Structure 1
């Protein structure tokens, strides 16, 4: 049984208050009985509607929990998606202030930029490939408004799939020039390796993640738009970040991307 509209609205307000106060909240699943995945997406969309009404813009989507490593790390068993807003973007090498984050972590991804819309359900691999303009190395800053990252699948979905921000590299690559499944990544923090992985960790291929996203959001009436950025999921486990950290992901054949966090 799905939650009432009032319960969903109350849950959305709890998360928005965490954003505003900078104080994480207890898991929604502990505060509201019986929340379902459907409720969680409704709670997410209620927040997005408020953000867009306030003048913010959706510039893409992210898929989370796509790798076995991430699912094991957070104790979930299926992917989820969230919305990317225009103010999530940080420029490479420029200092990222931590003040806007509660419990930030970071992970390396291969970002898609679309050249034409994708509307599901019914999108297949060939259509997804045809819609991609190019890929970029990327670092996603994930964050949780839920205290101590004590999240279930429902909690993270409601919390916009634990989105926070992202940094894109500046070396575009066409899909025909790379096999994303075999693309390896070395992930370092302050010049020390903290993770390695490959594109195949993302549901077997990041393209599979893009197909899943197009069909999942399409069933909800949403189209992936031309020019939008799609973050398909991490190729390694996420790592925490602190003031002064410098993180770099180097992808074979795609180049590298660096995120630098402010000292204060």
Structure 2
């Protein structure tokens, strides 16, 4: 009996040692995680339907779904960081995060500070007025006595400052505040990304007050060639991996499924 007990103890010790060795070894999931490139992703979180916080304070939107798909296909270990729009490029350059996936238009001015992937969607800008407004002409001469609303540090603000210098302007901190300013009459007209405001106009009670006015604006100097993912100028490896991941999700149907979730038409 004693001999059996000793053997049992030894066998148990060996099994325990083996188990400890297995536990110490890297699991397949851990190995997969280690193979992924870390990527801190900045978003504004105040630009529905592209990126916003829902009732549970969780990030949602087209940008977030695209980012998650790219993180999966590109084998990135992603962490989202909410950042004020005014600080989003300076803090990228300062290495506080690695990428901006937040509907950033690839303007010539921004290209001097950051690198961009290929575009992941394209949207013109457009003027919006309240229904029944007397505004019919959106030329600089016709609007010089009107109050224009724009969002701070956007391509629309830059465009308005250069091409509509005589207009009185109110600069809002976020798109929701911009829309409210138009609805409540704080400004006569606003300039905004057409896709960004589409959902507000088409699908909300507040947005039913208002309508598009004038032609789509597609000036490459100010609005760039669509929205791209911004990275530091020297981050070439991550840029190449993101471009490859973009190609993949567009080819395998993932992009189209995300597109259809938010828009009844293609935004590529």
TM-score range, shorter chain: under 0.3
TM-score, with structure 1 as normaliser: 0.23
TM-score, with structure 2 as normaliser: 0.23
Give the structure with higher Rg (CA): 2
More strand by share: 1
More helix by share: 2
